[in-house]
Amino acid sequence: MYLKSAKKHVIAALLLPGFVMILEAGALLREQFSKYRALENSRDYAYITSQAGYIASFALPQESIATTTYQMSGSEFSAQGLETARAETDRSLASVLEMLAQKIAGRQDIVYAIQEIWNATEALKRFRERVDNESLPAEAVIAAMKPFSKDFLRLVSVLRFEMGTPEATRQINLFLDMLDANDASLQALFYSDKYLRGEPLSRAETQALAGFSALLSENIEKLRSYPESRTIGATLAFNDTSQGKWLADLTGRIEANAVVPSERLYERWQNVKAQQLQALRKDLDESSAEIRSIGDAMAAEARFQFTAFLLAGVTLFGAVLAALFLAAKSVRFIEQLMRDREQLIGELQKAAHTDLLTGLLNRRGFDVALTLRPNTRLVSGGSSVMIFDLDKFKHINDSHGHDVGDLVLQKTAEIARKLFRVDDLLARHGGEEFVGFVSNVSLAEAADLANRIREALERSELQLENGESLRVTASFGCARIEGSVNRASVHDALKRADQALYAAKSAGRNRVICDIDIEPIDMLAKPAA
């Protein structure tokens, strides 16, 4: 009886410290995991902050400029520029929205800031529809686009208080000051540009220019309060140069209406202003990279602390299987997070290079595929390109609706894809226009391929829901790639193929013409689609 009691006491004496150690290990593990999650969250905030800042300072202003240019000229070149700017904005928006949904969508304390981003995204879509259907002055475009940038700046401002270290908070404060300086510079650019092009400024516009110039100077002085930061060197260096001082002086004289506009002055102003914006852009990129670097450092610190704790646990509590089990689960959890993140990045990259309607490459994907194509830069001659688009496609959309138009585009892509070889490149270049790169074939062979696609398309019928049959045709332009096959030579060939396409349209449509068979064509005289 006494031996049994003694045995129980001995076992209790041995197990009690073990249980205490398990409880302490569990408490330490929970504390360490909380630190780990806090540092991981700070990294996510850093990534979202830098991406939101990029949208506010670059993507949306670039789309605003491209929209204004398109509204003023309406040319095909400006339309392509607007399409490119919108694509860049959409790519950045997709990244931010995905991170918001994955990382902090459930945070009730900042739900209003997240909702503003979603509302801004929907408002941007509606404004784009308005741009496509109305003629708007530059002032209206800027007035409509600026609130979108401010919504993203507010998100950056909110997230700076979520960062886990004073260094991160300070870097985001610097980033915000730089964003403010960049915004003020862009606004002052608009009014100065208008004045130097010979268009007098109204009193309100002069006051606006003065206000933005003062705001820019104020923000530059704020940046000087960060003397040890390496991410503002280009901006401060430019403002201390003779060019920077000349630009500030010229802006002041414009405010006083004491400048006589001239072509020479305007050219110099454009050059100097470009240098200022380039300096700001460089510092913004470096500041954004610094924020991401801080986030990565936080994640690395989290992993280091967690690993150190596990090693200490193994050393001190080798027999505590529960601690080891929890550690193993946590490691698997981290690995799953990393795999999910890599998969998400891969899916976003694929979406950025693929036309969602047809499944073909888009314009960006075509350029990337050319760059990544094995031995592309080493092949000499023997390759060709083609451009084709559907005849009277606008009439199809107007008569049958855009849903039918989408079906026609999908059918066209399906027919062309079957006739292209596996190693060739086929892309939807935009709208109803497609481009193709065929390697190691002569121009005549490329034209023959184009004819086979044209004939297959002409023979095909699309059955509509109302019982009607729809036939479509396409016009083709082909050109041979001169010299080595690289991105520059391919784009040069595409320009010549585009001229041949215009010739095919002018000659009656539904035909194939090579660039060597036409005279030089006035690029402005493009026939109706």
Write the pLDDT tens digit of every residue in 484-509: 888 888 889 999 999 999 999 999 99
Q: β-strand 384-390 against 433-438: which pairing, if any?
A: antiparallel
The tokens describing 379, both together, are 């092949």
User: Ranked by mean pLDDT, which of 38-42, 242-246, 348-352 comes out on top?
Assistant: 242-246
Q: How far apart are the first and last CA of the chain?
A: 103
Ramachandran class of 469: left when φ > 0, alpha when ψ lies in -120 to 50, beta otherwise: beta
- pLDDT confidence of residue 17: 62
Query: CB–CB of 484/490 below 8 Å?
Result: no
Say which DSSP state 481 is in. P
The DSSP H or E segment spanning 514 is: strand 512-514
The DSSP H or E segment spanning 434 is: strand 433-438
pLDDT above 80 for 68: no
Share of the chain above pLDDT 70, in %: 69
Query: CB–CB of 481/373 below 8 Å?
Result: no
- pLDDT confidence of residue 119: 81
Say which DSSP state 507 is in. T
- pLDDT confidence of residue 2: 45
pLDDT above 60 for 225: yes
- pLDDT confidence of residue 259: 83
Say which DSSP state 164 is in. S
**Angle at CA 357, nearest 5°, toward 355 and 358?**
75
The DSSP H or E segment spanning 180 is: helix 166-196
The DSSP H or E segment spanning 428 is: strand 425-430
Write the pLDDT tens digit of every residue in 326-348: 444 444 544 554 555 555 445 54
Quickly tell me which residue has 């280009």 as its tokens: 234
Dist CA 194 CA 91 (whole Å): 31
Query: CB–CB of 230/222 below 8 Å?
Result: no
Share of the chain above pLDDT 90, in %: 17
pLDDT above 70 for 375: no
**Average per-residue pLDDT for the chain:** 76
- pLDDT confidence of residue 382: 77
Positions of E strands within 186-273: none
- pLDDT confidence of residue 360: 92
- pLDDT confidence of residue 244: 79
